[in-house]
Amino acid sequence: MKREIEINGIKFEVDMSTAKRIDTFKIGDNVKVLDKGYSDYKILDGVITAFVNFKDLPTIEVAVFESSWSEVKIRFIYINENAENYEITPSSYYESKIEKNKVVESLNREIETEKSKIRDLENKKNWFVKYYEKHFENSELREDSDDE
């Protein structure tokens, strides 16, 4: 099947059965990622973060955004010739469904949650040291006396 196309004012006749699509990407480009999961397919918004030029397996690193009503998760996927579960295609800035403020708010909530966990652990440690210090001092004394 041949088709006539015009590129920059020049008309071409292209055999569509043998035509190949060539995409050009650069770091920072918005992309759509088709995630062919175990039981379903999802289309995710992403941004190309790196091209890793491994000798045997050149790889594209993409940060993808998974959004729910309460949070936005960022994960990294790696696309190369062995990554059969993913496909990417160019996406314009305006196609992205991710809102910067929503991502920042979600990450701030996650940071506060983790800081709270750290404060809780520090309080437990301080309580332990304060109330069990005498127990261990007595234990150490007993161990020293056993050695004699």
Is CATH 2.30.30 the classification given to domain 22-97? yes
Domain borders along the chain are 22-97, 99-148
Sheet holding 30-36, edge to edge: 72-79, 59-67, 41-52, 30-36, 86-90
CA distance 141 to 137: 6
pLDDT in tens, 86-145: 988 888 767 766 677 878 888 898 899 999 999 999 999 999 888 887 776 666 555 555
Q: How many helices (H) and strands (E) does the chain have?
A: 1, 7
